[in-house]
Structure 1
């Protein structure tokens, strides 16, 4: 979930159902995919190769919150754009680029 609003921190306690929440105009979704830490892995066949066995933690609902300032995203943008382009995800790369045009 991207909250592209001027004061996103005011809404942290109001988001109930999101795997990741990207806070503000300079915290786009590719930031979480490639750089900020939280990552998403979409389950497919053969997931036992990289998922742990079912455990108590599997039943705990979690969300991650990502917030970058314009300066922080500017420092990370080239790396994120490079990773996105290497995966052929040009829209992800563009979502970073347009914030600095």
Structure 2
């Protein structure tokens, strides 16, 4: 069993997902929440992303779509472990180790 967290140096790189991340759509249908271990530092991470995008205008008189188009393909998940990984730049918006991975949209 891997440790709860490895304090690896910060490095932005793509990895394959670890285990089987859980992807749950919120009750109001507006968000996906992805939970699971980071494949790099092994910490439990939670990542939330909007369900879809409103997309472009449909035409001059038709206005913008009122309901978002659902996400398809995969969700790009970033480690959000919150641990102070060495070498993380102070200007980095990430709160994790820098790892990111794709998780299929259910």
Q: TM-score range by the shorter chain?
A: under 0.3
Higher share in strand: 2
TM normalised by structure 1 equals 0.26
TM normalised by structure 2 equals 0.25
Larger radius of gyration: 2
Higher share in helix: 1
